Structure 1
Amino acid sequence: MKTSTTTRGFLLALCTSLAASLTMAQAPQRIPTPNDTLKSPKVLDDKRAMIQIYAPKASEVMVGGDFIAGGKPLSLTKNDQGVWSVVTAPLKPDYYTYTLMVDGVRTMDPKNPTIKQGISSLENVMAVPGTETAFEDNKAVPHGEVREVWYQSNTLGMARRLHVYTPPGYEKGNTKYPIFYLLHGAGDDDSGWNTVGRAGFILDNLIAAGKAKPMVVVMPNGSMPMPPSTGMPDANMMNRMRSLFADEFLKEIMPTVEKTYRVLPNRENRALAGLSMGGFQTLDVSLTRPELFDYVGVFSSGFFGATIDEAETKYAKALNDPSFNKNKKLFWVSIGKDDFVMDANKKTLALLDKHQIKYQYQETSGGHTWVNWRQYLNQYVPMLFK
């Protein structure tokens, strides 16, 4: 009997389908787990947050984050289904970072895809909604754009990245804008201010409300490549990193950005600010090259460690320049009363006072956290380019 090609094809397909069905029938079926429907974090009606993770074989789970008063990690409790959970105290509406520790191993919350990236670590981010976060929320206003920009650094001999915010309407016009250089802290990279710092949304909202002038904001990577080492960097390493950043900033970042974007490259239209390490870098650059910036902001910072002892000599020219105050439209310093760098901050202010350098000082509640730094940015930006 002759079998047509079509019939043979049909029989082959039928056999293949039957074989696949038999294989699937014999394969062990996946057993559902509580992880399938688990949600974390969950913000409750009273603004407490529940953080959970499915880890049935774990013996200890803890969580640390910037929402915890005193910084001591919270212990999670395990139920009979293998789900560990903890409920925080009521939280003020804001954006918070946290990290889980499962049997001593730093672990991301697998149910929360929102993260903050650092140079060697990740953290989860959770939002506690409320009217208090309006200044930093993604609102229905005209939005600028944030670009990831790569450039070749001759100073460091490698490709480097920075983030650049351009205001609404930048692409459609030929207007030149003031420029604001915004520096992150130690452990972070150029993405910090754009992610957990929410700088783009803060600028959008201020500009839309008429509280700030449209501006270009440059967020560079202030973390310099370091040789392999253990422990905290010593004074020599701190000085090397300071000098390396200053060269990178002045010789690479500023020329690259000011040649690429439509900005007003003069002191009256330049601002510089940074948090923690970025505040230290801001002090260094603004006192070394005071002619470049009319607006300076220092968030939760100062001259750290031995750098305060040499500051009076290193920055003598600027500190003793009678025209320094006249040429600064704003020198703004802000810190939380519980910040662990308060001592460095006070010593730095004492040095400025000794040389009659004028500044505006603000001491807020809280400590060394993004909760404060976003607020400081929201306060600082409206004072620029007046």
Structure 2
Amino acid sequence: MLRLATLNAGIRLGIVLFATSLQIMAQAPQRQPTPNDTLKSPHVMADNRVAIRIYAPKASEVIVSGDFLGQSKPLSLAKDEQGVWSVVTGPLKPDYYSYTLMVDGVRTMDPKNPAIKQGISSLENIMAVVGKETAFEDNQPVPHGEVRQVWYQSNSLGMSRRMHVYTPPGYEQGKTKYPVFYLLHGGGDDDSGWNTIGRASFIFDNLIAAGKAKPMIVIMPNGSMPMPPSSNMADFAKLLPKMQEMFANELTKDVMPYVEKSYRVLTGANNRALAGLSMGGIQTLNVSLSRPELFNYVGVFSSGFFGGSISEAESQYAKTLQDPNFNKNKKLFLFEIGKDDFLMEPCKQTMALFDKHQIKYQYKETDGGHTWINWRHYLNEYTPLLFQ
């Protein structure tokens, strides 16, 4: 009886509390609906024009920039009577694009778009205009590998660091050892970049499923080195040589040993590839020329020796540049860059240095500039050349 009375008292208390909460809700001022409730952004239209919108009734100016604009200036959004700002782009070639809104001079994420690319100091939104041209980077109905976020202790830097690791389909169920590809991002990004806006895992999945690339393990480390507290991105060029060597040490003394201990990877230069874009490209050049015994497959995307003179590079890497066995050992050394890339001149100077010392390489020049639009294509073209 005591238990029953206690149960009944609890039920009555619950009913009272529920009724009280309903009364409070009824008395509370009701939120008025706004156009933001049903707003959609970005909205891809049938003709591949894209509407970008944001509800900002108190703003006085909104603009949008992004790689979808190519060399064009940012677009101004127009405000309607309901406080919705919008702009419609011209028809876009199917691809994945990044963009950023500026609301009264403040960098702002599109609140209606959860797809983002993160960097070391900023975020950008991602939008997809899907078509047959994006098939190589889309989520296709093929066997998928796995991407892990892996934390490890970097003794070189005295801190815990993160990398992204792609393992091919079937890795968990098997005992096979795989070749390993170290893939580096550019300045301002982190180890997540290649697998968000870079679409790397889908590119690998699709190539492997089509038999165009060998199954491999791909390591995407964080190439952004800790900078002195008083420094900023304006000091980047001055600090670049030091940061290059910091990265090379961490890669070879921390990342590679961790990978070779933790994953079923084949060792030796013939089973290792290295490639990077922009800052990652110059890191690739530094590692491959200062430690030529480690990688026999090398890719440099949208990069060259920048931040210093070419004569300094020639002096720094003299031993390797003058090594008659360098060409004999390398399976691939590839440069790829867009004709409108702002690093075209450093790239040409670097290739001229290679020519001077009879270092063999392949070169491909594409349309476009310094954007992920190109780098995804470069990855798709470079990966099938590995470990053949």
Percent of aligned pairs with the same amino acid: 72
Measure, in 2, the Cα distance between the counterparts of 1:21 and 1:44. 43
Measure, in 2, the Cα distance between the counterparts of 1:103 and 1:270. 48
TM-score w.r.t. structure 1 length? Answer: 0.96
Q: Does 1:50 align with 2:43?
A: no
1:383 to 376, 382, 385: 385
In the TM superposition, what whole-angstrom CA distance separates every residue of 1:173-198 from its partner, at most 9, and x where no partner exists? 11111110000000000000011111
In the TM superposition, what whole-angstrom CA distance separates every residue of 1:243-289 from its partner, at most 9, and x where no partner exists? 11111111111111111111111111111000000000000000011
1:175-324 paired onto structure 2 within 5 Å: 175-228=176-229, 229-230=231-232, 232-233=234-235, 236-324=238-326
Q: Does 1:98 align with 2:99?
A: yes
Structure 1 residue 12, shift from structure 2 partner: 5.7
TM-aligned CA distance change 1:297 to 1:27, over 3 Å = same
Which letter does structure 2 place at the counterpart of 1:65?
G
Q: Does 1:341 align with 2:349?
A: no
Structure 1 consecutive aligned stretches of length 4 or more whose deviation exceeds 6 Å:
4-11
Residue 70 of structure 2 contacts residue 368 of structure 2 at CA under 8 Å; is this kept in 1? no
Which letter does structure 1 place at the counterpart of 2:169?
P
Residue 76 of structure 1 contacts residue 85 of structure 1 at CA under 8 Å; is this kept in 2? yes
Structure 1 residue 304, shift from structure 2 partner: 0.4
Measure, in 2, the Cα distance between the counterparts of 1:290 and 1:10. 76
1:35-184 paired onto structure 2 within 5 Å: 35-184=36-185
In the TM superposition, what whole-angstrom CA distance separates every residue of 1:349-372 from its partner, at most 9, and x where no partner exists? 111111111111000000000000
Structure 1 residue 298, shift from structure 2 partner: 0.3
Q: Which residue of 2 aligns with 1:367?
A: 369
Please, which runs of 5 or more residues in structure 2 have no aligned partner? none
Secondary structure of 2:149's counterpart equals strand
Please, which runs of 5 or more residues in structure 1 have no aligned partner? none
Measure, in 2, the Cα distance between the counterparts of 1:41 and 1:187. 25
Moved more, 203-212 or 19-28: 19-28
Secondary structure of 1:203's counterpart equals helix
TM-score w.r.t. structure 2 length? Answer: 0.95
Secondary structure of 2:172's counterpart equals helix
Which letter does structure 1 place at the counterpart of 2:189?
D
Residue 64 of structure 1 contacts residue 71 of structure 1 at CA under 8 Å; is this kept in 2? no
Residue 305 of structure 1 contacts residue 344 of structure 1 at CA under 8 Å; is this kept in 2? no
Aligned-CA RMSD value: 1.6
Structure 1 residue 93, shift from structure 2 partner: 0.3
Measure, in 2, the Cα distance between the counterparts of 1:134 and 1:6. 61
Which letter does structure 2 place at the counterpart of 1:109?
D
